[in-house]
Structures are given as structure tokens and as C-alpha cells.
Amino acid sequence: MRMSLSPSPRRLAGFLATLGLAFTLLPTPGLAQTPAPTASAQAAQAPILAPWTGPHGGVPAFDKIKVADFKPALEVAMAENLAEVAAIANNPQAPTFENTIAALERSGQTLTRVSTAYDIWSSTLNDAAFSAVETEMAPKLAGFYDQISQNTALFKRIEAVYNAPATKQLTPEQQRLVEVRYKEFVRSGAKLDATAKARLSQINQKLAGLFTNFSQNVLADEADSVLVLKTDKDLGGLSASLRDAAKATAGTRKIAAAGVITNTRSSIDPFLTYSDQRALREKAWRMFTNRGDNGGAHDNNAIITQILQRRAERAKLLGYATHAHLRLDNTMAKTPEAAMRLMEQVWKPGVARVKEEVADMLALARKEGAPANFKIEPWDYRYYAEKVRKARYDLDQNEVKQYLQLDKMREGMFWVAGELFNFAFVPVSNVPVYHPDVKAWQVNDKTTGKQIGLWYFDPYARPGKNSGAWMNAYRNQERMDGKAVMTIVSNNSNFVKDKESEPVLISWTDATTLFHEFGHALHGLSSNVTYPSLSGTSVVRDYVEFPSQLLENWLATPEVLNKFALHYQTGKAIPQALVDRINKASTFNQGFETTEAISSALIDMKLHLAGTQQIDPDKFEREALAGLGMPHELVMRHRTPQFSHVFSSDGYSAGYYSYLWSVVLAADAFSAFTEAGGPYDKAVAARLRKNVFTVGNTIDPAAGYRAFRGRDPKIDALMKKRAFAMAGAKAGSAAPGKTPGSKPKPAATKRKS
């Protein structure tokens, strides 16, 4: 559930806030001074520059884009955008909302379109040719964004509108946009002197290059490293579908073997869960957890050290104690201390539960004949946890998986969207796609038939595609100047294809992630605001995961399971007895799930609270985890050398805690449904849409939550859901949203998990 970050020049404000300041990805020297060639003049030669045309309000011409187009198109679009900004900054008329703030909203449309395609290629089609372009263009884009955020004349106009008495007469949404835009520019260094601005831009450009190097190193380790299963014995313990997928992968990779396991979570986790070959489990685990940490050309440790140093220097330049303080200044948590308090409340019960889980696994292992000195190692945890689950709850995940067909789960998501949001999804074939795996659906209002937006789905893993799952917005909803612009969003996953003739079966965890990412898509599709910078998912980092975490709850509802959890061979619905066992086991393994996630969040925060301290990432991770009492039997969900959330951009840096923050909100919010008429209660769903999903960043998220729930959130529901004791927290104590003085800012336009 990672929301990937897409540079959106037209929505500079929202993008800067995503990063806590200016994500700055610089035009070539002299670009700002050179007369800008217009994009329209070159569109015939480079379709990537042209306005989107065709159905659905216009769609990207993915079928006409070539890697060779990106560099010249970005340079033309940046020059055009700088010319637009210069016209706004140098306007001789007195600054007003219309000629300054609204004018900025209208600017950068060409670059937004080009950046959309650029980001898609970066995350899903990143081959050697594109990597070379990305390496060159990342720092150039960084300098470009700095030229806008550090434009003194432009900022003076923004500041004048912010301070003008007339601003109080604007609509609430306009006032919100003025505040958001002004504070983002301040946090991006607009008030610094010339020397400090120059240094800030140098830092941003250097960081942009480091982020790109980090991402490419992780991608290289994922693409280049595989586990070859040489014989049928090496496939021991794997289900028929996993065996078929491994064999298919061997064929795709042209490797003569019984099967191949790729170095991505969607391939590794099932192998660790079911393989009865312990030595191979260890190899798979080490291959996956050592991504970016193998020495040599793709090692990320030195890069991380440099990123941390430059972030710390940048925070000092901007007047903050550490990067963590800078990042959390515009969130619901407000301070690192508040985020740490929440994590610590859940960390201790999580670790305690791990000890119980390990004891259960050891008892079972010894019962099966393991020696007295046998220890559960990290590569054993999923394997023995699954055995315990089966023994204790008579629940075999492979049995569950037979009822979870990817296409049926997608249909289930559509049905939920119809019940809660009144959306209908209609497949379309009249839009170009960037890969044959990608399909598209038109999204309509069920009652009126009016089109709401367009949804793309890219479900399968392939070389050059980032691992994990994410959502992004190709185009944000808006209605500026009386023109309604519908959104285009996508969901992206990494499921492993089985036999072409067989449906793709997914795990319960994968199905949960599918619903999670679809929650982000629904957040974008529901948007009903005027200005694109405030649209959809452009909310504060520790609120943006709330809608997605919330939607996970509908997977387990009887309505979804009875209609869409159908056996892939018989077509029969999942038996109620099996559903009962799933529900009974719902709190199982929560120690593992909680501890592996929060350990990543704690290390993220501690790294960025270290300030200017010279960090050896491996050593810091090892010692910090020891200090926290990290159980030996598991590792962080994202080890530091592969922690793309934190080191491939500024997006989730000092912000990985936001998943826990949001899950507190989500658990509390779902209780509003269960306390009323159930998960599909129409009145509660209407309040949710009105106060959370449709408003984007037009209101303070804490106020929006209170309007939905009738009060601030509480941590009780989460602790109950995980069957944790309320250690260190009074029942009913306030959760994140009640942090005093919280001032929200927008987050990203693209999310990733």
C-alpha cells in the first residue's frame, strides 16, 4: 500500500507537501533564460507532448510513447512551465487569488502529462534504456522544481494573497488552497536568503540522483537474483498453483529447471510459507532480505548514509531540528514524539505476542521431531506459523486460496464500490495501454449513468516493474473555470501468472492488499473539489492511508465472500464453516504482522531523528533493533537497504509510521458501521463519502474525521481487533486525530505498498 509519487508540476503545491518540502527532481543550464519552445509546436513530432484526446475526456497515448521521447519532452515541458511561472511572477497587476494562485493551478499542464508517462515507465517498464534517461533527468527535474519554489517574485505574490484581507472573503476551498500553497513554499525555502537557497537546491538535486540510484539498485537486485529450483524435490510443500507458477517463471526466464522463484515479495512470501525445504527457504529469505545489501555495484548502504546527511543539512537550513521534525510539521501527528508514542503503545504488546507465537511454533516443531535445541529462524516463521494455524484452527491458506480468484476478487471490489459509493465499473477497450497486461474500466454513477472516471489495472509482475502494489492518479479530478475534469486512476500489483488457461489464485493477504489499494483508487474517484492541488488523495501523509486501510474490512464481509469467493474449479461459494475458521483465526499471527511493520517505522523515525550523526545503516539498524528488543525470529518488513518507501524519494521518509496511524483511524471508523446497521449501512456510508472520500484536502482531516465519526478517533478498536491488551494506554484514550495543534498539508497523488 505504497502510494507512489508522481511529479505533477500543475499541482506543485500538493507534490511539494508530499515530500515535506520541495521534492526536487533543474533544467539544463540556461533553461530558465532561454525562450521556451512551445509544446504545441512540437506535439506533432512527439505525441507525448500533445493534449490527451479521445474518449473519457482524453486519455494518454501510451501506444505512441517511446523511451527516446522522454528527455526532449521533459525539457520542452519544463521550459514551457517556467515561462508560464515567469508570466505569473512578473504580472504587473496587483496579486490576487485569480492571477496568482489560480493561475498556478492552470500552469504546467504539458509537464503533468509528460510526467505521468515518465513515472509509469519508471515504475513498470524500467529497462536499461529508461534507467539511463532517469539517471540523467532526475537531478534536472530537481533543479527545475527549485526554480519554481525558490522564485522570489512568485513567492512575494503568493505571500501578498495569503496576507490580504480580501482572502478572508474567498470560498473556504480557495482559502484552504491559499494557505496550503503559501506554507508549502515556505517549507520549500522561499524565505531563505540567496546563499541558503542555492545550497538547498544543490542538496535537492543531489538527493534526486541518490533516490534514483537507490531505486535502480533495488530493482537490479530484484531482477537479477532468482532462486532456481533444480528438481521436483525442491518444489516440496508447494501447492499445485505455486508449482505451476514457478515452472511458468522458469520458462519465461528461459532457465532449464523445475521452477524459479523471483526476488519479489509476491513470489518469496508463498515460498517461505509452504516450502518444506528448509535450506532453500533460507536461501530465498537471504536473497530477499539482502536486496541492496550485497556489496558491489548495487549496494545501497553508502547511498543511504549520503541521503541521511543531506536530509539533515536541509532540515537545519529550513530551521528544523531534524528531518523528522521537518516531515511531521505538516501532518496530523505534528511531532515525531507523538508518532513514537503511538508506535510504542502497540510495539510492546506486539513483541509479547511474538514470544507466544514462537513458543507455539517450537512446540509443534518438536512434536514433529525437531531436536531439543531447534530454534525458529526468520526463514522458518511463516512456514511454522502456517502449520500452527492449520493445527489450531483447521485453517489451511492453500484451501482458502482456492476460493480467491483474482478476477472474482476484482469483481468483488467493484460490487463493494457499488454498494458504498454507487459506482459501476464497465470494461472498455477503446483506450491505449502501455503493456498487454493492462486493462481499463469506465467508472459510472450507478443511478444517473454519468461517467465519474477511468480505472486502469496492471496486475502482474514482470522484469522492470517495481515490486509491491500501488495506486496512482494519471489525472486529478477538478472543475476549475466551470469545466469538469474527470479523474483517471490506476491500481498496480505483482501477482504471478499461472497457466494461461487457469485463473490466478491469490492469498488472503494478497486479497487484502488488493482491497487496500482499491481504497486509494476510490479516494481518487470520489473526489469532488474545484482545484487539482486539493483533489483526491492529496491529503496529509498520515491520513492518506486511512481510506485504503478502511476498505480492507469489506473483504471479509459475508456479502463479498458469498458472491465472489468461488472455488476456481466447482464455482461453489466458500463454505460457511471455512469462513468461520477464517474469522476465528483473524487475530492469529498478529505479533508477527505488527512487529515486522512497526520495526520498520521505528527504524525510519530513529534514523531521521539522528540528525547530522554519521550513519552506518547496517550497524544502526542492528543496534537500534537490539535496543528495541526486536525478536530474533523475524526481520523488519522493509530492511533499510531496500526501504524504497523511505529512500527512493522523500515521500514516506520519517513517515512510515503513517500506516499505523491510519489503521487506528480505520479500525475506529469501521466501528461506526458495526455500531450502526452493519458494513453496508447507507447512512454511515453517506457520511464517510461526504466527509472523507469526496473532500480531498479542502478541509482539515481531523475536522473531517470528527464530522464523520462524531468524535475524535480512539485506539480501542485497533487493540481489540488485534487482541492486544491496552498496555500503556487507557481504554478510550485519544488516537492520532486528537493531537493538539495539528495543521494538515497535502500528501501525494500516487500511492504505493
CA distance 320 to 324: 9
What are the DSSP calls for 432-474, one per residue? Answer: --SSTT-EEEEEEETTT--EEEEEEEEEE--TTS-SS-EEEEE
Rounded to the nearest 10 degrees, what angle do helices 658-674 and 336-367 cross at?
A: 80
CA 402, chain centre distance (Å): 28
DSSP-derived 3-state class of residue 478: strand
Neighbours of 153 (CB within 10 A): 12
CA distance 292 to 643: 9
Cβ atoms of residues 734 and 524 within 8 Å: no
Cβ atoms of residues 595 and 350 within 8 Å: yes
* Grid cell of 295 as nine digits: 556489496
* Grid cell of 36 as nine digits: 521556451
728 strand-pairing partners: none
Q: In 152-235, which ranges are E strands?
A: 226-229
CA angle 37, 101, 701 (to 5 degrees): 125
Cβ atoms of residues 714 and 671 within 8 Å: no
Please report how many Cα atoms fall inside a 13 Å half-sphere around the Cα of residue 354, on the Cβ side. Answer: 26
Please report how many Cα atoms fall inside a 13 Å half-sphere around the Cα of residue 77, on the Cβ side. Answer: 33
Cβ atoms of residues 319 and 189 within 8 Å: no
Question: Would you call 30 exposed, middle or buried from its count of C-beta atoms within 10 A (0-12, 13-18, 19+)?
Answer: exposed
Active site (catalytic) residues: 517
SS (H, E, C) 534-561: HCCCCCCHHHHCHHHHHHHHHHHCHHHH
Pairing relationship of beta strands 487-495 and 451-460 according to DSSP bridges:
parallel
Residue whose C-alpha cell is 529469505: 285
Q: DSSP assignment, residue 530?
A: S
Q: Smallest Cα–Cα separation from 378: which of 658, 636, 610, 573?
A: 636
* Grid cell of 327 as nine digits: 516531515
Q: DSSP assignment, residue 481?
A: G
Task: State how far the alpha carbon of 697 is from the alpha carbons of 181, 417, 543, in Å.
Answer: 12, 22, 10
List of long-range contacts for 699-703, beta carbons under 8 Å, 24+ apart? 699/172, 699/176, 700/742, 700/743, 700/744, 701/332, 701/539, 701/540, 701/543, 701/737, 701/744, 702/332, 702/737, 702/738, 702/742, 702/744
Task: State how far the alpha carbon of 113 is from the alpha carbons of 32, 52, 228, in Å.
Answer: 20, 8, 41
CA distance 213 to 683: 49
